Amino acid sequence: MRKTWDIPGGVHPPENKSQSLQQPLGEVGLPAELVLPLNQHIGAAAEPVVAVGDHVLAGQQIAAAIGLVSAPVHASTSGHIVAIEERPIPHPSGMQDLCIVLRPDGKDRWIELEPCENYTQLSHAALLEKIRAAGIAGMGGAGFPTAVKLNPRANYDIDTLIINGTECEPYITADDILMQTSPAEVIAGTRLLAYLLNQPKQVLIGIEDNKPDAIAALERAVAELNDDDCRIEICTFPTKYPSGGEKQLIQILTGREVPSGELPAAVGVISQNVGTAVAAWRAVRYGEPLLSRITTVVGTALATQRNVRVRLGTPIEHVLTQHGFDPQRCPRLVMGGPMMGFTLPSAQVPVIKTTNCILAPSREELPPPPPAQACIRCGLCAEACPASLLPQQLYWYARAEDYERLTAHSLTDCIECGACAYVCPSNIPLVQYYRAAKGTIRQMEIEKEKSDRSRQRFEFRKERVARAEAEKEAKREARKKAAAVAKKKLAAAQAGAQQDSRPSGKQQSGAQPHEGLAGDRQTGAQPDMVAAAMARVQEKQLAPQQQREKLQRAIASAESRLQKAQQRHVEASAEHQGKMQARVREAEVRLADARQKLAALDTATPAPAENADPVAAAIARAQAKMALSPTEKLQGNLTSLQKRLATAREKLAAAEAEGSDTAAALATGVAKLEEKIATVQTELNAAPAQVPGPAAATKTAATDAAAVAIEKAKTRAAAQADMSAEEKLQKQLDSLQHRLQKARLRLEQAEADNDAHIDALRSGVEKLEAKLAQTRAQLEDTASP
C-alpha cells in the first residue's frame, strides 16, 4: 500500500452514489436531432467544415480545430446537417452559441476507421496527432484538449502520471462505472499515456476508497497484464470532497503542492481523467473519434437512475424522457454534481464532451438555497478550504469589490469547489462571489490589455501625424524658399529686360495682341505682374542716369533677343511657328517699350535738371555766403565795389570823352563809390583787429549770460510755482530789500561823484521803498488770517 498524503480542509457531503449504480451501464437511442456545439472544450471554438444539407457519416469531422488549444468536432452518427446556427448550449450563462445540427438517418454508418495494433511503432507526434484529431478533451469536467496536455514543455521533467478516478463529487458515478465495466481499457489507456510521456517513474491511478468494485476490477486488470515496462499502481485513499481536484489529487498521491499560477507539470506531474485515458486509447487503437461518453443520469425526479453511454449532441431532454423524467417534481436541472455543477437554462441543451452528470433532483432532494444571512465570522469556511485560502476575507473583499486585495489573497488559487459555501452556517453563496470576482478580474485584465494597446496605437498615430505634419511643413518651407529665389531671379531678369509690359498692348499696335497675351501667359501672367510692379518701384528709386543706362542695356538685350527670335522664327518648323511668332512679337514689344521709355527719360530728365539748377546754384551761393566769415564778406564787398568803381570810372571816362551831360552824375557816382570803398576798407581794417575768436567768444558769452539769466528766471518761476503765497511774498520782500540796499549804495556813490543821474537814482530808491512797504503789508495780510 502506497503512502498517501492528506489535503487541508475538505468536506464530507452525502455521497449519493449508490442510486445510479443499481443498474448496469445503459444506452440511449438516437434522438431526432443531434446538436453539436462548436466549443465543447477550453480554447478556441472549432470551425465548421461541412455545409447545411451535407450528408455525414459517424466519426466524420464536421468542425476543424482552430489553433493549438482547440479540438475538432465529429458527427456522432450518420445523417444530414440541417443547420449551423445558434442554439442554447450547456453553459452557466444560459447563452446561445454556434452549433451544428445533425438529423440522424438512423443507419449509424461509420467512416473507415484506421486501427492501430501496436502504437509503439508510431512516433509520439503521430500518436498525439491521432488523439488531437479524435477531438479528445478532458472528460472530468474541464475539457482541456488532451493532446496539448500530453505534450508538456520540454523544460518540465515529468516523472509521474496520475490517472484520476477519484470522482469525489456526490451523485456522479460515470468514472466508477467505466472502471468497473472496462478496466482493461482503462489500463491500456494508462499505458498509452505513460508511453506518450516516456514512461514516467510513477504511474498512479488514484481512486477514493468508496469505489471498492472499481478498485478491485482495476487491480485484477493490472495483475493480468503483468507488465514490467509499466508499473501501474492503484492508489486508494479516504473519501473526502474535493480530493478529485487535480491539484488536490497530486498533493494526496505525491505530497507535492502545485505552486500558485503554475501547471502540475511544474512539479513533474501530468494527470488525466480515466475517461480521457480510455478515449485516447480508443482513438489510437481503433481510430475512433470521441463520439460518446458515459454520463450519470440521476435524481429523484427520474424513474430510472443509472449511467448511460450517450452520443455527444444528444439533447438532455431526450436522455431524460428515456429515464422517466417528471418535470413537475424537478424545479431545476443541474449539469455536473451538486457542488460544482450549474443549473441548465433548458432541457434542450445537448450532452457535450464534459457532461459527466445530469442531475434532475426533486425539490426535497436539492432545495433552493435558503436566504443568506450575515457572516458570523465562525471561520468554518477557512477550515473547509482545500486550497488553504481565507474565504471570509475573500468574501469581504469581493463584496467591497477590492480586486487588488482579492488578488493579493490568492483568489486565483480558488478551485471553486464550494466547500466553503457548503459549511457556511449563514448560507452565504461564497463561491458565487468568488466566481463573479474572478470574472471581473479577468475582464479587467482584458480591458487593461486592450486599453494598453489602444494607448500604444494612439501614441503611434500621434507620432505619425506629427511626423507627416513636419514633413509637410518642411516641404512647404522648401517650396516657399524656391519660390522666393525664383521670384528674385524673375524680378531681376524682368527689371533687366522686360521692364514693364503695360504699354505693350498699346505700343505693339493692335496687330497681334492675342499672341502677345499668349506670350505673357507662357511666362506666367502672375509672376510677370508682380515682377513688373517691382521693376516699376525699382525704376522710380533709381537715379535717372542709372535708369538710362539700364534702359540702354535693356534695349541692347531686347534687340539681340529679337534678332535671335527672328532667326529662330525663320528656322522653326511649321508646328512651332505660332509659338515662335509669339516670342518674336513679345521681344519686339519689349524692345519698343524700352526704347520708348528711354526716349521719355531723355526728354524728361534734362528739363527738371535745368529748372532745378538755378535754384540749386542760388541756394549753394547763399550757403557759401553764409559760410563766409565777416572779414571775408567785407573783402568780397570790397572787391565787388572796386569792380563797380572800375566800371563806373570807365563809363565816366567814356562820358567825359563824349562830353555827355551824364558825366557829372557819373562823377558823383564814382565819388560815392570811392567813399563806400574807403568805409569798407576801414571796416575791413578794423575787423582783423577785432579777432574773430574773441568776437565769437564775446558773442557766445553774451548769449551765454542771457541763457543763464533765462535759466535763472525759469528756475525761479518754477520755485515760485512750488511755493505757497506767503513764501512767495517773503521771497519778494527779500529781493526787494536787496535791491533797495544796492540802489542806496549807488545813490550814495552818485552823490559822492556828483553824478548827473542822481535824481533818477533817488526816485528809484523811493519807488523801491514804496514797493517794499507794499509787499510787507501784503505778507502780513496773508500771514494774519
Partner 1 sequence: MLEFFTQYPIAGAVIALGSLSLVFGAILGFAAIRFKVEGDPVVEQLDALLPQTQCGQCGYPGCRPYAQAIANGDAINKCPPGGQATINAIADLLDVEAPTLDAEHGEESEVKKVAYIREDECIGCTKCIQACPVDAILGAAKQMHTVIIDECTGCDLCVEPCPVDCIDMVPVAATVEHWKWDTPAASGAPAMELIATDKDPAPDTKPPSQSDRGEAA
- Name the β-bridge partners of 26: 308
Q: How far apart are CA 12 and CA 733, in angstroms?
A: 129
Annotate 156-178 with b (16+ C-beta within 10 A) or e (fewer): bebebbbbbbbbbbbbbbbbbbb
| Minimum separation from the CB atom of position 434 to partner 1 (A) | 9
CB 387 within 8 A of CB 413: yes
Q: Compute CA distances 473 → 98, 469, 481, 625, whole Å.
A: 53, 6, 12, 66
| Minimum separation from the CB atom of position 96 to partner 1 (A) | 9
For partner 1 (CB under 8 A), the number of binding residues is 56
Interstrand relation of 334-335 and 357-359 (parallel, antiparallel or unpaired): antiparallel
Q: Compute CA distances 444 → 448, 540, 716, whole Å.
A: 6, 78, 90
Question: Does 453 participate in binding partner 1 (rule CB under 8 A)?
Answer: yes
Interface with partner 1 by CB under 8 A: which range of 10-18, 24-32, 725-733, 767-775?
A: 10-18
Count of CA atoms in the C-beta half-sphere (13 A) of 621: 7
| Minimum separation from the CB atom of position 395 to partner 1 (A) | 10
Residue closer to partner 1 by CB (options 22, 118) is 22
Question: Does 358 participate in binding partner 1 (rule CB under 8 A)?
Answer: no
Residue closer to partner 1 by CB (options 376, 478) is 376
Question: Does 67 participate in binding partner 1 (rule CB under 8 A)?
Answer: no
Residue closer to partner 1 by CB (options 173, 494) is 173
Site track 271-310 with partner 1 (rule: CB under 8 A), x = hit: -----------------------------x----------
| Minimum separation from the CB atom of position 363 to partner 1 (A) | 7
| Window 93 to 152, contacts with partner 1 (CB under 8 A) | 93, 95, 97
Strand order in the sheet with 96-104: 34-37, 96-104, 79-88, 55-56
Question: Does 332 participate in binding partner 1 (rule CB under 8 A)?
Answer: no
211 in helix, strand or coil? coil
378 in a labelled binding site = yes
Q: How far apart are CA 31 and CA 4, in angstroms?
A: 45
Where would I find the H helices in 255-312?
Answer: 274-285
Binding test (CB under 8 A) with partner 1, winner from 91, 536, 649, 739: 91
Question: Does 479 participate in binding partner 1 (rule CB under 8 A)?
Answer: no
| Minimum separation from the CB atom of position 280 to partner 1 (A) | 26
Residue closer to partner 1 by CB (options 5, 458) is 458
Residue closer to partner 1 by CB (options 13, 350) is 13
Interstrand relation of 202-208 and 160-164 (parallel, antiparallel or unpaired): parallel
Question: Does 435 participate in binding partner 1 (rule CB under 8 A)?
Answer: yes
| Minimum separation from the CB atom of position 150 to partner 1 (A) | 24
CB 637 within 8 A of CB 598: no
721-726 LR contacts (CB < 8 Å, sep 24+): 725/782, 726/779, 726/782, 726/783
- Dihedral of CA atoms 678, 684, 686, 688 in degrees, nearest 10, equals -160
| Minimum separation from the CB atom of position 384 to partner 1 (A) | 12
- Alpha-carbon torsion (116, 120, 126, 127), positive or negative: positive
Residue closer to partner 1 by CB (options 255, 439) is 439
Binding test (CB under 8 A) with partner 1, winner from 446, 599, 646, 773: 446
385 in a labelled binding site = yes
CB 45 within 8 A of CB 327: no
- Binding residues for [4Fe-4S] cluster, by number, are 375, 378, 381, 385, 414, 417, 420, 424
- Binding residues, by number, are 375, 378, 381, 385, 414, 417, 420, 424
Q: Applying CB under 8 A, which residues contact partner 1?
A: 13-16, 39, 89, 91-93, 95, 97, 170, 300, 338, 363-374, 398-399, 422, 427-429, 432-433, 435-440, 442-443, 446-447, 450-455, 457-462
